[in-house]
Structure 1
Amino acid sequence: MSSGGLGMMNCGDCLKWLGMDASTSVITLLDDPADLVRLSGVSWSLCRFVIVNKFCKSLCSRFCPDTLNFLLVAEVSNTSKSAEVGFSSALEWESLEREHRAYALLCHLIVSPEGKRDCIHRAVCASSTDNYPDESNENTLESGDLVDQRPSYWSSGGQYDPGVPESLTYRLTANLCVMREIKIQPFKAFFQPDHPIYLAKFVRFRMDHSRLREGTDDYEEQQLASDDYYKWTYVSP
């Protein structure tokens, strides 16, 4: 028998030959979630080892430490596995598999160049607008200073008390988005004397999901846009 054939016969038993500690040290050197997914497909023992030790979750936390704050991974599915597996109950194994799939996909989206794009789908509404629609918050999504040969900016209706906050609401492109940065561009009014620059005294970001039913149209969503219709679970300093 050739040495190549012997290698193929024993490739699934690398855990046995290396041992748990050495295998862990080698696997933690991987920096691509695709490699972890491929590794879990080599054999049942490697699959179990990768999933139980949560290597995908660990790799994901290296690129995005905030994932360590996740409390639960939920997955919508119409089917449920019920077969028993040797080392754990079916329920526990399903939970581990679900977590493995979720973190593998999330990590891929974080490191993949194809996944880097604008997370904002559209502007929903603003707490006030001075001159709608010419000065609406739709303008904040424009990269240039002009739209249809007119200045592109959002302007609030204004308040007597400068401490009263204004808000802009946007819908994201997906239910799960990974944000690496948020860009804010103050507006330079080149059409006014001395070209003043308008910017906020402070900015706060709030994120989570809408309580509105599926299928709510754009107009209805704009009419219902208030704190009563949104569940804010993250508020920045």
Structure 2
Amino acid sequence: MTTRVIIVDDQAMVRAGFAALLAAQSDIDVVGEAPDGAQGVELSRRTRPDVVLMDVRMPEMDGLEAARRILGPPPGGGGSASAGEHRPRVLMLTTFDVDDYVYEALRAGASGFLLKDAPPADLIAAVRVVASGDALLAPSVTRRLIADFARQRPATRGRPALRLKALTERETEVLTLVARGRSNAEIAQTLVLAEQTVKTHVSRVLTKLDLRDRAQAVVFAYESGLVAPGE
């Protein structure tokens, strides 16, 4: 299947470069570009892409607000999106290896982030990873970003911590390892489980905690106090 992508960035050269690179892939179709967040939101609603490449810092409307609008309920909806409603995956782009905007975007539901100076192969792989429904959390810089900002915020008490009680002991173990940046294969090896079993546990964790993907699971694990930075 072809992955439909839009690129939202205020630098025309960046958009052109990313578009040329992605359009050269047989399984990726670039269906639009926008120079700021407001136009990106409108373009996303019009073209219904699978993946939105979203710059963090832009005029008019920054990438964080644009991501919130794209991933949130539709205008006038007054509530959560229906189960069958299309929601693209948002991949944040930044020139900074640690950026508060990116952390907040992950909380809003973005599926990960990538540095703009990453090798071309990493960009292509990132689009495929988030399009498949996974989160882009493998790079150590992503784990460092989340840990840095979790460290600046005390662990949230109350509802997030209480929600952990819905998990079984095994699911809690799996969530802890996900939060530490482990892949399913690494979790399977650590817990001596089949990789498919780990996938099932991860899916149940996301469902029970009402989380979009692994990116939000990592943020939740830090904010609930399950995992502390530096552990």
The structure with more helix, counted as a fraction of residues? 2
Q: Report if TM-score (shorter chain) is over 0.5.
A: no
Compute the TM-score of the two structures, normalised by the length of structure 2.
0.24
Compute the TM-score of the two structures, normalised by the length of structure 1.
0.24
The structure with the larger Rg is: 1
Greater length-normalized contact order (CA 8 Å, ≥ 6 residues apart): 2
